[in-house]
Every structure is written in C-alpha cells, then in structure tokens.
Amino acid sequence: MSTAILTGSPVPGSSIEGDLRSLGFDVLTASDAGDAEALLAAVPGDQRVAVVDARFVGHEHALRLGLTDPRFPLAAIPGALTAQPAARRALTRAMARENSASGGTLLAVESLADRVVAALDADGADVHHPELGSLVAQVPVDPQTRNEARQAVAALDDEAVRLKSAVKARDGFFTTYFISPYSRYIARWCARRGLTPNQVTTASLITALIAAGCAATGTRGGFVAAGVLLIASFVLDCVDGQLARYSLQYSTLGAWLDATFDRAKEYAYYAGLALGAARGGDDVWALALGAMVLQTCRHVVDFSFNEANHDATANTSPTAALSDKLDSVGWTVWVRRMIVLPIGERWAMIAVLTAATTPRITFYALLVGCAFAATYTTAGRVLRSLTRKARRTDRAAQALADLADSGPLTEALVRFLPGRPRPTALLSAAVGAVLVTLAAWMWGPSWWVVLMAGAYVLLSAEAVAHPLKGALDWLVPPLFRAAEYGTILILAARADVDGALPAAFGLVAAVAYHHYDTVYRIRGDAGAPPAWLVRTVGGQEGRTLLVAVLAALLTASQFTVALTVLAVAVAVVGLVESIRFWVSAHKGGAPAVHDEGEPA
C-alpha cells in the first residue's frame, strides 16, 4: 500500500482525494507542516509515500506520471512529490528542515510539497521531473486561477494523451504505421483486465514458439500459419511495452524477460525453419546458424559502441552532427530507420517470406539484409569514433572488458604481459579473429586449427591486457564474438556429418544467451556476471580453443556429441545463474528499469 499526505487547506469540490485513491494511495490529511512531518514519520519505511498539496488541479495521468512510476526513487510534479523507500531518508530530512523554517505552520500561498522539492534539489538529490507535455498540473492560489486550470483540464482528454504516450517515441516504420495504431488499444484492454506486461511477454513467447513449431512441419500450410503467428507474436511484443508505459508497470524482471524472450523467439524460429526445410530435403542449418551469428554480432556492435560512448566527455563528432541533420528531414528519418532492418521490419520480412517462399530464400534475404544493415551501422559508428574528440571513462573501459568475456586463460596470460598500455587492442583482436576463422575455413578439423586457436588465445590476452579506451576499442568484443561463433559454425560445417550443425546452433545459442545476459546486467547497472560463471563456461577464448581441440581430436560423430554436451552444459549453468540473479534482483527491490527495445 502507498500513502499520500494531503497538505494545505482543502478546496470544496476538489477531486484530488478521489484521484489519489484511484491510483492506489491511502490518503491522510495534515493540518499543518508539523502534522505532515509527524504523519510522514508514522508511514512504514517500506512503503511509497507522497506529499500532495490539497489545492492541486490537474489531470489524473499527470499525478500517475509524477507519483507512481517505479523507476525513480524521488519524483515530483508541481504540487506533488513522492519517495520510494530508498529515498525516504532524504525526504524526511528535507521535510524536517522546511517544517523548522516555517515554524510548523503552512503558508497561505506557498506549497509545502514544492518547498520540499526545492530543498531536495538544493541537497543534490536526484528528483525526477516527468515531462507532462500538454497535461495540466498546477497549484492555483486564487479562485480565478483555479477556474482557468479546471477549464484547461476539461479541455484536454488525458486518456488520449495516455494512449499516445504508451507508444514508444522512436520506433521503426513498420511498427509505427502497421502495429502501434491498434496495439495501444490492446494494451489498454489488457490494463483494464489486470494483465501485467510480464504475462503479455510470456504470451508473445508462447505464440512465437508455436509459430516455430508450425514452420518445423515443413508444409505450406505450416509455413503460412508460422508467418501469421510470428506477426501475432510481434504485436504482443509491442503490447507488453505499451502496457508497461500505459500503466507504468516497469520492473527489472520485466525488462530482462522482454529482452531475452525477443532473442529466444527469433532464434527458435530460425531453428523451426531449418527443421521444416530438412523435412523437405533441404539442409539450411548453416544458413540458420549464420543468420544467428550475424544478428548477434550486430547487437554486440550496438551494445559496445553505446557503452563506450554514452558517458564519454567532450563527446562531439561532425559525423554525428550530420546524422542529426539528416534526421531533421522527414523522409530521411524513415529511410535510415528502415535500412538498419530493426526488429519490426525484420520480423515482417521473415513472416512474409516464410508464408510465400521457402526457408532457403527466407534465410538468403535475411542474411543479405542483415549484412547490409551491419555494414551501414558499423561504418557510421567507425566514422563517428574516428572524428569524435572524446575521453572514455574507466566505467566504459570496464564495460567493454566485461563484454569481452575473457576467461581463465586470458587471466593467466595477462600476468605475463607487462609494460605500458599499447594502442594495439583492435589489431590484436582482428588478427586473432582472422587467423582462427580462416584456419578453420582452410583446414577444417585439424591440429593446424588448434595451433591458430592457441595464437588466438595469446592475441586475445594481448588485446585486453590494458583498459579499452582507444577510439575503436569498442570493436574488440564484436570481433571476439565473430571469432568464437564463426569458428564453431565453420568447424561444424566442415565436419560434414548429420547433426553437427544443429548441435553447433545449440551451442552458439547457449553462449549468445550468456553474452546477452551480460549486456542486460551492464545496462541495469548490476555489473557483469560473477567471475565464477565466466570461468566455469571457459571464457570466449577458452571455448574457441576447446572446440578446435575437440574437432581435431574426435571423429565427426563424436564431435557432434561433444558439441551437444557442451551446449547443454553452458545453457544449464548460464540459465540457472541468470534466473537466480534476475529473480533475486526483482524480489530485492532493485531499481525498476525499462528496456526500449533493440537499437537496430
């Protein structure tokens, strides 16, 4: 239960008490500032508390935005503020100071809530002030102003504003024009029936898994049904975020579920298409695995670039300025958003091609589209980095080190690589990645590949031996991903035995989950996964070397079994730890977050 303390003189005909109760607050009334302080002290420390001026006039949705958003410990709008348990001490101090300054009485004109907010701001407290736009939130001090404010409230439909704000401000063309115009109403329908975003997210996953099952039948009817269900899954995927924004039901667990389920849905669908093609006599597992590798590497480029630059100082670039200028021209905005093949366009293309063509054509189109998008976005980010005069922070360097996923072999070798920092991280990572993947391509399962994998381990250690603060050092984690995933893909393909590529698909999926989980922990300011987990699953360089050794040492059939066992082991360890962490973070009251979706 949350508690709201009304302060100031009551106003006849005011709806403020009813609005607060409809938002889930138990309402108490303070006769003066001293009484407000006493009531605040009596509210249990594990409850949210709000201080609201009884003269407040405004839309209910303005109160909702200001007082119920779980992401912010302190938040305020004119005439109202709220504090979650983590910020109660700061609120109590500010309230006591204002009570002492006013002599325990409420002034006729000034708002106690606004004065406390000013005191919090002066203390350096991080008070969130939501953007209200056209919504009204005022504390009128005379009848005329009150009448004008009430007229302004009556003139604007806050439900229409609430529905509009439920839609993500920046989205792809397909989502904006083909999904959001009606999905927002589905979100409102869900809210009115008490459904949560996590329930909708789960429904989206189940729908996508059924779609993958339909694709796996290998029949034309199954492919058509799969395409339709994939679009339905994407609609639900939009609805869960819109429901979260509509009802302000943000949570750490919800953000993790939304992000990880997106990857699970897409990659499960790739597997379904590959199984369906196999039923028709066409082996496209290499294409399916290639699509997963390319898509994952694209995301790592996005994540690494953003982590390297989001808190950099002197972070300016003429390339970024040109990009902003292009975004100021209407049609170029949509073209630039579409050519990066975001999730809406990508899933729409996959769904239509599944229903109308074959899995092989679907994967060819997906690979070409994603390759072009990856080239476009990576080239733009390289140009920005080369022209940007930025100083990377220690936090950014640590985030890149965590994304690198270096294991015990690198930890041991780094101790023997003394000396001053050298600007060779990118070169070492690139040379190592080329050596191991090219060797796998040229020689297949052989001890030559093991030798090159050993060189890759040494170069990987050299790449991360010093903080990754170079202009292009954000490319190191994507190069590691490409080297590890590419080596697994090529060696499985060169094994040339039934089952090797599906086993490799499972291994890459398990490892990719571990890498995505690392990203989401960093995004949520939770740090990297525990060191024991990284050591247990070997680190990226250890897994690459292990797969090369297994391919050279075992027969093709034995190699397939080994890949399967390794995939199961990584998946079990990674999933168990990930679920434990996110559930405990949710139960432990970690700050609620909201993921706005993949960046590309």
Of 440, 491, 485, 433, nearest to 293 by C-alpha is 485
End-to-end, the C-alpha distance of the chain in Å comes to: 39
510: CB partners within 8 A, 6+ apart? 567, 568, 570, 571, 574
Pairwise CA distance, residues 184 & 462, whole Å: 50
Tokens of 405: 């996923």
- Residue for token pair 């897409």: 266
Pairwise CA distance, residues 416 & 296, whole Å: 32
Q: How many CB atoms lie within 10 A of CB 328?
A: 8
- Alpha helix segments (H runs only) across 329-407: 330-339, 343-356, 359-387, 394-404
The greatest distance separating any two alpha carbons of the chain, rounded to the nearest whole angstrom, comes to 88
Pairwise CA distance, residues 385 & 459, whole Å: 23
Burial (CB count within 10 angstroms: exposed 0-12, middle 13-18, buried 19+), residue 531: exposed
Of 412, 402, 395, nearest to 461 by C-alpha is 412
Pairwise CA distance, residues 99 & 116, whole Å: 9
Please list the pLDDT of the chain residue by residue as tens digits (600 residues): 799 999 988 888 899 999 999 999 999 999 888 899 999 999 999 999 999 999 999 999 999 999 999 999 999 999 999 999 999 999 999 999 888 876 655 555 578 999 999 999 998 999 999 999 999 999 998 899 999 999 999 999 999 999 999 998 788 899 999 999 999 999 999 999 999 999 999 999 999 999 999 999 999 999 999 999 999 999 999 999 999 999 999 988 888 899 899 999 999 999 999 999 999 999 999 999 999 999 999 999 999 999 998 766 555 666 556 566 656 566 677 888 899 999 999 999 999 999 999 999 999 999 999 999 999 999 989 988 888 777 788 899 999 999 999 999 999 999 887 666 678 899 999 999 999 999 999 999 999 999 999 999 999 999 999 999 999 999 999 999 999 999 999 999 999 999 999 999 999 999 999 999 999 999 877 888 999 999 999 999 999 999 999 999 999 999 999 999 999 999 999 999 999 999 888 776 655 554 445 433
Determine contact, residues 26/3, Cβ cutoff 8 Å: yes
Q: Is 284 helix (H, G, I), strand (E, B) or coil?
A: coil
Residue 590 DSSP one-character state: P
- pTM of the entire structure? 0.92
